[in-house]
Chains A and B, each alone.
Chain A
């Protein structure tokens, strides 16, 4: 299986005391707004023997791509290298890396023994000549090599920024193909960077908006396989699905897990009216959370599970509201121009991402949980449906182009508004749900 063993290797602690990220001089304070990416070098990891050579190259490239993809780091091409790293344990020639202005250096070694893959790596602060954190060894199977590379990159990212990483994570989404009026949709899952796409449903019925469970083991989604939109839960490992029974003769959609994974909050349509309900998954019992003639949908829990942010048009236009998780009085938090929808609480708890529609354009934005400090990060014909990276630094969303040839694509953007980039998928993609960091 993909299970990885993470272990400190005693032999790698060397003679010097470990240098912790907090005390090291090499530190990227990403809240201050990074204009100039930090130059780094990832010389090819050293293969123990020929059987490890390809893995060593591939892992090095994925580590570099992860770091570059953040927009916070800039890779120095190996063409510029003065030093060659031919042995993992040989002393680093810091002067050679300083000369090409590499501030961070990642060195590594790869061993393959049968199906077992072992990666060792170190992160160096070139200018102080010190190691950043301890050397680390990761062991797993050869078919999990990409995950091991992402884990290395997560470590590098964390040690330099002081924040949690997000590379060893997966994204569930809807794969889209076909023309706009006959679009085929399939549930799919992939690595955060678009690799290892796996399809979880066929395209016989419309499927919408998968949502990861907090631990990443299950997905909620909406499917028309019964003829009406209904909520299903899918076991990601077994690819087995099950309908979550709400009420007969009704439509249900827009589900999301509670932070403890034991209940869901969702929209139920009765008599044309859409309200919010919560279902206890163990008992299957549902309880009403809102009771108004307005549309109430797109609920999302605060990380502590005490509150729910949602969208309602009770004021006349769709706006964002926060209410206690058990229902009760809701407080409106969006007051800017335009229409607000699909609020999603950041995993850090500090921000709410949303879709905003104003003057014929769509935006992905963020605001404080009380509605203050609204910032729009994107603008296009149609952007919608934000989802947070596990560390709350990056938002992925759907961008759809206009016109008869309109196509949906996944994009990601840093919460600073920088580093907007498409996420590679085999076909069109929509409704991303970013899962947790994997174990």
Chain B
């Protein structure tokens, strides 16, 4: 599972989360100074790394909810624009839940969340056949404490780019 170390909301409004683990890919490389765009790095607007970190690959949900917050819609709007501009990519949207809830219910809840994100992207023009969904329920938390601070980051739908016809 590809775990991001850092999540930026679209427009750099706020840093939502900072994980405790040190993922070397989290901030990408070579984007430090002004000027040069390194292909494939977060500074390259056509790169998956840019999608993940600059556009923001995930949206968060309230407890037991699958409705999109205004912030989630802003992020998804950015995702839709990116996907429309980079039409070679397809994506799998992973829905997740926090650990409060039974395994079965959380699987169903994660599916609702993934679908809410998918429906939004489709409403913004992304072709449905480019967007698969999968629910992991509570099986794949990224944060492992048992408080709301962690739960809020685990209640998520993550848009994972799964392929490009450009290879």
Binding site for B on A (CB under 8 A): 179-181, 183, 206, 208-209, 227-229, 249, 251, 253-254, 267, 269, 271-274, 295, 297-298, 311, 313, 318, 339, 341-342, 355, 357, 381-382, 384-385, 400, 402-404, 406, 431
Kindly provide the distance from the CB of A340 to the nearest chain B CB, expressed in whole angstroms: 9
Q: Which of A181, A229, A342 has the most CB of B within 10 A?
A: A181
Residues of B105-154 at the interface with A, using a CB-CB cut-off of 8 Å, are 105, 107-109, 111-112, 114-116, 118-119, 132-136, 139-146
Kindly provide the distance from the CB of A170 to the nearest chain B CB, expressed in whole angstroms: 21
A267 engages B146 (CB within 8 Å): no
Name which residue of chain B comes closest to A294, CB basis: B108
Q: A206-B139, A381-B146 are in contact. Are A357 and B100 (CB under 8 A)?
A: yes
B134 engages A298 (CB within 8 Å): no
A228 engages B134 (CB within 8 Å): yes
Name which residue of chain A comes closest to B154, CB basis: A181
Measured CA separation A357–B109 after assembly (Å):
16
Kindly provide the distance from the CB of B21 to the nearest chain A CB, expressed in whole angstroms: 9
- Does B11 make an interface contact (CB < 8 A)? no
A295 engages B108 (CB within 8 Å): yes
B101 engages A357 (CB within 8 Å): yes
B144 engages A269 (CB within 8 Å): no
Kindly provide the distance from the CB of A314 to the nearest chain B CB, expressed in whole angstroms: 12
Name which residue of chain A comes closest to B133, CB basis: A272
Chain A residues near B132 (CB-CB < 8 A): 249
Q: Mark B31-54, 1 if CB is under 8 A from A, else 0.
A: 000000000000000000000000
Chain B residues near A181 (CB-CB < 8 A): 3, 140-144
Q: Which of B66, B102, B118 has the most CB of A within 10 A?
A: B102
Chain B residues near A228 (CB-CB < 8 A): 134
Q: Which of B3, B105, B112, B136 has the most CB of A within 10 A?
A: B105
A229 engages B107 (CB within 8 Å): yes
A341 engages B104 (CB within 8 Å): yes
A342 engages B102 (CB within 8 Å): yes
Kindly provide the distance from the CB of B61 to the nearest chain A CB, expressed in whole angstroms: 13
Chain B residues near A180 (CB-CB < 8 A): 141, 144
Chain A residues near B103 (CB-CB < 8 A): 208-209, 342, 384-385, 431
Measured CA separation A233–B100 after assembly (Å):
29
Q: Which of A253, A254, A269, A273 has the most CB of B within 10 A?
A: A269
A404 engages B105 (CB within 8 Å): no
- Does B99 make an interface contact (CB < 8 A)? yes
Chain B residues within 8 Å of chain A by Cβ, number: 33
Measured CA separation A318–B99 after assembly (Å):
16
Q: Which 9 pairs between the two chains have the least Cβ-Cβ distance?
A: A272-B115, A402-B146, A274-B108, A341-B102, A180-B144, A295-B108, A297-B104, A269-B111, A404-B144
Chain A residues near B108 (CB-CB < 8 A): 267, 269, 274, 295, 297
Q: Choose from A229, A382, A406 the contact partner of B135 (Cβ within 8 Å).
A: A229
Chain B residues near A208 (CB-CB < 8 A): 103, 139
Chain A residues near B107 (CB-CB < 8 A): 229, 251, 253-254, 267, 269, 274, 297
Chain B residues near A274 (CB-CB < 8 A): 107-108, 111
Chain B residues near A273 (CB-CB < 8 A): 111-112, 115
A298 engages B144 (CB within 8 Å): no
Q: A274-B111, A297-B108 are in contact. Are A406 and B102 (CB under 8 A)?
A: no
Name which residue of chain B comes closest to A403, CB basis: B146
Chain A residues near B140 (CB-CB < 8 A): 181
Q: Choose from B111, B119, B146 the contact partner of A251 (Cβ within 8 Å).
A: B111
Measured CA separation A91–B130 after assembly (Å):
81
Q: Choose from B92, B111, B145 the contact partner of A404 (Cβ within 8 Å).
A: B145
Measured CA separation A406–B116 after assembly (Å):
30
Kindly provide the distance from the CB of B20 to the nearest chain A CB, expressed in whole angstroms: 9
Q: Choose from B112, B114, B141 the contact partner of A295 (Cβ within 8 Å).
A: B112
Chain B residues near A384 (CB-CB < 8 A): 102-103
Q: A180-B144, A206-B139 are in contact. Are A272 and B116 (CB under 8 A)?
A: yes
Measured CA separation A180–B99 after assembly (Å):
10
Measured CA separation A431–B136 after assembly (Å):
16
Measured CA separation A385–B66 after assembly (Å):
24
